[in-house]
Amino acid sequence: MRPGVTECLLTAADADEGLNGLVTYEILAGAQGDFIISNRTGRITVTPGVTLTVGRSYALTVKASDNAPETQRRSSITTVYIEVLPPNNQSPPRFPLLTYSLEVSEAMRIGAILLNLQ
């Protein structure tokens, strides 16, 4: 993992139109200065100047919020897990699909698992 290289791209959508429908992202916890997120695109990258340690794992708590007025603002929080593998790893993880898309009800209980890839 090199600084500036996209490690993960989160996307969230909001049904509101115009400015209220804009989604912003922020890392709430777990990055320890090693990762940054673009507040507009959800792109998570290694912080410039940081060298990650092989074998280390991270659990980033990320929040996506719409741009509605403060009293009507909605947000969702998820955890992104990152494991630092050796650069010559011969068995990187493989997933059946390139992209996974979920629709989540606002009534979903907090802490519910939305997607578990094995």
* Per-residue model confidence as pLDDT tens digits over 44-88: 999 998 988 888 999 999 999 999 888 888 888 999 988 888 877
Residue 1 has pLDDT above 60, yes or no: no
The boundaries of the domain holding residue 115 are 1-118
| DSSP-assigned beta bridge partners for residue 43 | 9
Tell me how far apart the alpha carbons of residues 35 and 57 are, in angstroms, rounded to a whole number: 12
How far, in Å, CA of 102 to CA of 64, rounded?
14
What average pLDDT score do residues 91-115 get? 78
Number of domains in the chain: 1
What CATH number corresponds to the domain at position 82? 2.60.40.60
Residue 87 pLDDT: 77
- pLDDT bin (cut points 50, 70, 90) of residue 30 is very high
